Structure 1
Amino acid sequence: MPDTLIEEPIRPTVIDEAAAPAPAPGPDPAEAPSAKPDGGAAPPRPGRPRGAACLAAALAAVALLAGVALGVYFLFWRYEPTARRHIPGDANIVIRLEAAELALFGPVRQHFLPLVEEAPAGASRRARIEAATGVDVLADVREIVIASTDAASWVALAGGRIPKGRFVAGMEKVAREEGWSGLRREGELLLVGGPRPRAVIGQADDGTLVVGTDVEIVSAALPASDEWQRLDLPEQGAVAFALTGAAWSGAAGVASPLLPRAGALFRRIDHASGTLTLGAEPALAMRLAPVSGDAAAALAADAQAFLGSLKLALALLPDIAGAGAAIDGAQAEARGDRVEIRTKWPVEGVDRACAALAQRAREAAGAPRAAP
């Protein structure tokens, strides 16, 4: 009975297969099993390794990007810190600046970057300096350390990817082109500002740039040493600082005639270090180490009492760089064998301080006064 019989389809010949048109696209064999001619399910055919191929491609792309990033880091960005090695041996005040973080801070960009760009005519000062010295000030300087031995003589040390042996001669060329006043050379040093120079420029053998207020402190900073290790200077933070016992003793001598309480407190501090975090709300954190035999808890209580009395005194004076607001919110407390003082520093005060320092730098270089 033809109605009840299932007729098996006729298998095509080899010639029929060659002549037959290509079948319409259907489901991926890897996703659906094919049927046997007798109606049974055929064993699944192996699918294409699309997932594995995509994963391999993604891993290759990540490896390539990582390789490029490492190459850029080691060839262009990484550098061995050298500035701290040139802190003078008798320094008692040290401030370290992370150039990359400072460059992103608004007041620094506004007040200090113009010093690099300002020039009487022609190319920008930044381009002039780079052409003469091989140093792109904004890209090559990574770390700046400022130190003093007596709060009167100061030196600034700049480290980074800096060519050796070119900076002094190059800066002399730039200075003469721009007509700096009182310019002269003394050996490997460039003096600016007449018989009593306002600035002295030198360069250490490892490339570190040295700029100071007098010949003595610049000469003391040129040789490398390990003196920086004794200062307990923090290595992280946009701004880090350290003050030795000698600095606190000197501050005590200055403060005692007017503020006896301050003088007595400063003499109880063996050394201190801290950081200033920049941004929309700059924050100051300081750690004080009491002298031997003094308890941190007692020093913290006296420090908080002194901050309170200082707040009242500063309320009668003009605010300098936001110090009044910072002291108003300062809190001192004992943590272990140290005293921690923390406060917020108003960004408006930091802006005023940057403007004043930039103007002093402009005047030291003999440049015209900036427009208000």
Structure 2
Amino acid sequence: MPDTLIEEEEPIRPTVTDDPAAPAPAPGGDPAEAGPGERGAGEQRERPPAAPPRPGRPRAAACLLAAIALLALLAGAALGVYFFFWRYEPTARRHIPGDANIVIRLETAELALFGPVRQHFLPLLDESASDASRASRKARLEAATGLDFPSDLREIVVASTDATSWVALAGGRIPKDRFVAGMEKVARDEGWEGWRREGDLLIVHGTHGALTRPRAVIGQADDGTIVLGTDVEIVSAALPASDEWQRLDLPEQGPVTFALTSAAWSGAAGVVSAVLPRAGALFRRVDHASGALTLGAEPALAMRLAPASGEAAAALAADTQALLGSLKLAFAVLPDVAGARDALEGAQALAQGDQVAIQTRWPYEGLDRACADLAQRVERATRAALDAKAAPSAAP
């Protein structure tokens, strides 16, 4: 008897040998109706087409790293330019004389961006570049002192001790220990009259009637700050660095800032008392003041008064507002100076804490007229000096 009985009624199913891994057909299923992966015997199983390769991740990562490296390089270059070429730590304010009572600080970079300054003063530099004699002098000054004017200057501080002796302090990227010696060389080469070297100072004399006295005294501090004054005493007092500017409460930021001590207010009181007694009395009630003039399309003046001992801020504010009203009437019949008349019209004095705040808008047109007038004065003075210098050489 055979081991396996096969019923005749049931057909024998073919064995799939082409693809051993193919799943067996479902019981009772028709091979013609099987899916692509379940075809019947004698048919090759169709494989699905291969998926397209994905973009290579290593290439994208490399591009990202390259972009980050480029940004880091640009940032490093920008920081290098800032720290080594543009960044400047203010030094001029450190050389304000210890007994100064009037201080004005000018930030040259912000001033150069102000419209009236660009319009009226920058053309003077262009003209000097086209004038052979001026260009030659500028080149000699730069070669002798190492100072590229005006790009190397960042701040100028003007101070006075008694409204008679004045000093101008110039700070910036200025080479140290070169300015005085360089100016001495220029003076010798150009044949200046009435100058002499006295220690670390260069003194230029002028004649006033029968008297001969210093017209300018030039020095340079250890940190490079240039000191230009009206006499030896104030220049010598400004050469050492100090923290005097902090005592004056001089604002640190702003294109134009200023500070006045009680001595300055007392001196001003003595001058104006004969004309405006109310102003003289009020000035004596002020201990010190500081403020700033902001520039731009709408310039504005902000000033703070510190009352003298025993004075209340509210009372001082009320009297200050009354004085502003009197000044409006006085300026109404006087020629306008740099827009001061319109500035007085909108000035307001209010008590804020223990101080008095004065605020007003300063007319742009007034500052424009003032810059134009000053530029013309500088132009005339420069031409007169050059003509006087050229006159002896032109004489037969």
Fold agreement, TM-score > 0.5: yes
Alpha-carbon displacement from aligned partner over 1:167-193 (angstroms, at most 9, x marks no partner) = 112123334555655433333222334
Relative distance call for 1:363 and 1:181 in structure 2 (3 A) is: farther
Specify the alignment match of 1:145 in structure 2. 157
2:108 paired residue among 55, 76, 99: 99
2:346 paired residue among 324, 329, 332: 329
Specify the alignment match of 1:85 in structure 2. 94
Relative distance call for 1:190 and 1:38 in structure 2 (3 A) is: same
Relative distance call for 1:200 and 1:279 in structure 2 (3 A) is: same
Q: Are the equivalent residues in 2 in contact too, given 1:94–1:146 (CA < 8 A)?
A: yes
SS of the equivalent of 2:259 reads strand
**How many Å apart are 1:311 and its aligned residue?**
0.8
Q: Are the equivalent residues in 1 in contact too, given 2:282–2:319 (CA < 8 A)?
A: yes
Q: Are the equivalent residues in 2 in contact too, given 1:116–1:125 (CA < 8 A)?
A: no
% of aligned pairs identical?
Answer: 74
1:185 paired residue among 194, 197, 200: 197
Specify the alignment match of 1:236 in structure 2. 253
What is the number of residues matched between the two proteins?
342
Residues 273-288 of structure 1 correspond to what in structure 2 (within 5 A)?
273-288=290-305
| Distance in 2 (alpha carbons) for counterparts of 1:319 and 1:299 | 27
Specify the alignment match of 1:13 in structure 2. none
**How many Å apart are 1:3 and its aligned residue?**
8.0
**How many Å apart are 1:41 and its aligned residue?**
9.0
Specify the alignment match of 1:72 in structure 2. 81
2:312 paired residue among 251, 274, 295: 295
**How many Å apart are 1:354 and its aligned residue?**
3.6
Q: Quote the RMSD (CA, aligned, Å).
A: 3.2
**How many Å apart are 1:273 and its aligned residue?**
0.7
Specify the alignment match of 2:276 in structure 1. 259
Specify the alignment match of 1:204 in structure 2. 221
1:38 aligns with 2:55: no
Specify the alignment match of 1:61 in structure 2. 70
Q: Are the equivalent residues in 1 in contact too, given 2:36–2:46 (CA < 8 A)?
A: no
Relative distance call for 1:148 and 1:65 in structure 2 (3 A) is: same
Question: Could you say which structure has the larger radius of gyration?
Answer: 2
1:129 aligns with 2:141: yes
Relative distance call for 1:333 and 1:254 in structure 2 (3 A) is: same
Residues 210-249 of structure 1 correspond to what in structure 2 (within 5 A)?
210-249=227-266
TM-score by length of 2: 0.77
Please say which of residues 358-367 and 141-150 is displaced more in the overlay. Answer: 358-367
**How many Å apart are 1:309 and its aligned residue?**
0.8
Specify the alignment match of 2:12 in structure 1. none
SS of the equivalent of 2:233 reads helix
Q: Which amino acid in 2 is paired with 1:201? A: I
1:315 paired residue among 332, 335, 341: 332
| Distance in 2 (alpha carbons) for counterparts of 1:60 and 1:227 | 46
Q: Are the equivalent residues in 2 in contact too, given 1:199–1:364 (CA < 8 A)?
A: no
SS of the equivalent of 2:135 reads coil
| Distance in 2 (alpha carbons) for counterparts of 1:232 and 1:339 | 15
**How many Å apart are 1:337 and its aligned residue?**
1.6
1:108 aligns with 2:122: no
Q: Are the equivalent residues in 2 in contact too, given 1:295–1:337 (CA < 8 A)?
A: yes
TM-score by length of 1: 0.81
**How many Å apart are 1:84 and its aligned residue?**
1.1
1:163 aligns with 2:175: yes
Specify the alignment match of 2:5 in structure 1. none
| Distance in 1 (alpha carbons) for counterparts of 2:121 and 2:199 | 29
Specify the alignment match of 2:42 in structure 1. none
Q: Which amino acid in 2 is paired with 1:184? A: R
Specify the alignment match of 1:21 in structure 2. none
1:48 aligns with 2:47: no
SS of the equivalent of 1:332 reads strand
Alpha-carbon displacement from aligned partner over 1:306-331 (angstroms, at most 9, x marks no partner) = 11110110111111222112112211
Q: Are the equivalent residues in 2 in contact too, given 1:255–1:263 (CA < 8 A)?
A: yes
SS of the equivalent of 1:190 reads strand
| Distance in 1 (alpha carbons) for counterparts of 2:198 and 2:382 | 18
**How many Å apart are 1:40 and its aligned residue?**
9.0
Relative distance call for 1:112 and 1:41 in structure 2 (3 A) is: closer
Structure 1, unmatched stretches of 5+, are: 9-35
1:367 aligns with 2:376: no
Q: Which amino acid in 2 is paired with 1:330? A: A
| Distance in 2 (alpha carbons) for counterparts of 1:117 and 1:216 | 36
Q: Which amino acid in 2 is paired with 1:215? A: V
